[in-house]
Amino acid sequence: MIRNYIVLIIISVLLSGCGNGNFDNSRIDKPGQNTKKEQSVYDEVSYEGDTFVVVPEKRKVDFWDEQFGYQIMGKSEVYIADVQDGQDGATQVPGVEYYNGFGIKDVVEVTIPEKVIYDNKTYTVVGIGYYSFTGCDNVKSIYMPDTIKFVEYSAFEACEQVETIKWSENLVYIGDNSFSLLELSEIKLPNSLRWIGESLISFNKKVVKIEIPENVQVLGKWAFNDCISLQEVKFLSPEIKVGEYVFFNCDNLKKVYVPKESRDYYKECFKEYDFEVLSIE
């Protein structure tokens, strides 16, 4: 059963159609503003519609190791909430409240641990929280263990120099603006992925081809906008909810390959673009 870190996706709603002016994949129920009822980070919840919430935006750090600050999610799971600055775990300006602490500038390689020990207890690291690597401007590589299920909103947004990512093979959810992958030259997303938020590789100038795994059900708006070198995209899913402006200003994109039985569906999705929609043979 998918617990508090991944809220259930209602498949019948998500696959109701492709992108158009009515599709907005922004969050409906923002953390701390749940219209149904108050939920704690430990609650199991289900939302209908184009959104789900993973963890609250503002939260405490329960404990630190030498690198990261962690929030405990349940009996044996944690997610990364902040990056150590070598002092008290948060580089902040006095009197200014942040959604999260600011990390140090000299972090170059980010290696997420699979397990951490706190108070003589072992926890599994299952996610990366909101803004957790804000301020880590010089990160060049990110390595995720296969325990990671989600990467939340703007987690690595400030890390514009990333050249290498090792994805978790169990990653399900990538939040809006989670990455700024301007320097990445190729991207291979894991087959486990179901939700891709806004602006995954916007303004990237190096990626030429990309494949969307068959389990992806939502592709957020602006996901590939202004990827000027992008020439070919392959969708393996028979249907996918596509946000607006996904390929905006991708002027060199000439071919999009889709499952043969879904070609008409995708042609309708991408009717505003000039590229060819071709069947995967």
Tokens of 240: 């996918």
**Lowest-pLDDT choice from 39-43, 225-229, 244-248:** 39-43
How many CB atoms are closer than 10 A to CB 27? Answer: 18
Q: Higher model confidence: residue 135 or residue 182?
A: 182
In DSSP terms, 119 is beta-bridged to: none
How many CB atoms are closer than 10 A to CB 138? Answer: 16
Please check whether residue 191 is in contact with residue 215, taking contact to mean a CB–CB distance below 8 angstroms. Answer: yes
- The span from the CA of 18 to the CA of 6, in Å, is 23
Mean pLDDT in residue range 198-206? 94
Check whether 244 has a pLDDT greater than 70: yes
Please check whether residue 216 is in contact with residue 230, taking contact to mean a CB–CB distance below 8 angstroms. Answer: no
pLDDT band per the 50, 70, 90 thresholds, residue 198: very high
Total-model pTM: 0.78
Check whether 25 has a pLDDT greater than 80: no
Mean pLDDT in residue range 120-140? 90
Mean pLDDT in residue range 50-75? 72
Please check whether residue 56 is in contact with residue 81, taking contact to mean a CB–CB distance below 8 angstroms. Answer: no
Mean pLDDT in residue range 197-213? 95
Closest CA to 63 of 94, 84, 40: 84
**Lowest-pLDDT choice from 67-71, 99-103, 247-251:** 99-103
β-pairing verdict for 150-151 and 63-64:
unpaired
What is the per-residue pLDDT for 82? 84
What is the per-residue pLDDT for 257? 98
Mean pLDDT in residue range 222-244? 95
Check whether 137 has a pLDDT greater than 80: yes
What is the per-residue pLDDT for 31? 29
Share of the chain above pLDDT 70, in %: 71
**Lowest-pLDDT choice from 52-56, 104-108, 241-245:** 52-56
What is the per-residue pLDDT for 14? 42
